[in-house]
Amino acid sequence: MATKKERELIVAKYGGRCAYCGCELVKGWHVDEVKPIRCKKKWDPIKRKWIHDGTCRYPKRLHIDNQNPSCASCNINKHAMSLEDFRKLIGGFLTSLNRDSTQYRIAKRYGLVVENEKPVLFYFETVEL
């Protein structure tokens, strides 16, 4: 868990924007570990669910050099993925929308949605540091 001072440094990395989608961060933004820390979980037989035991497999990754400011949506979708797996996930959204969403296909036919197939670039890859 990042301290208040560390959070200030992390959010300043990209001028208060999400490192991934580039949206302006609002209260409740997340700290993402670029290389996942892999939280350890153990089974709680009373609650009947997996709970974090407060430790992780890669504790050295809990460092500002490996931490990015993230909106909740990007952080939740990235979860414990590597950067390249997250890029593949986002890159596959057009395929899944065309396959699974009638509303999306209709909106596309009516010109309300225009697809823009291009490589997925994260915001932090587009800005000068």
Contacts for 99-105 with beta carbons within 8 Å, 24 or more apart?
A: none
Taking the complex as a whole, how short is the minimal distance between the CB of residue 71 and Zn ion, in angstroms? 3
57 vs 79, which CB is nearer to Zn ion? 79
Taking the complex as a whole, how short is the minimal distance between the CB of residue 39 and Zn ion, in angstroms? 21
Taking the complex as a whole, how short is the minimal distance between the CB of residue 9 and Zn ion, in angstroms? 19
**By the criterion CB under 5 A, which residues form the site for Zn ion?**
18, 20-21, 71, 74
CB 34 within 8 A of CB 27: no
15 vs 59, which CB is nearer to Zn ion? 15
Taking the complex as a whole, how short is the minimal distance between the CB of residue 21 and Zn ion, in angstroms? 3
Location of structure tokens 């931490």 = 67
- Tokens standing for 73? 């949506």
23 vs 105, which CB is nearer to Zn ion? 23
55 vs 73, which CB is nearer to Zn ion? 73
- Tokens standing for 28? 């409740």
- Tokens standing for 45? 């037989």
* Residue 115 CB burial class (10 angstroms; 0-12, 13-18, ≥19): exposed
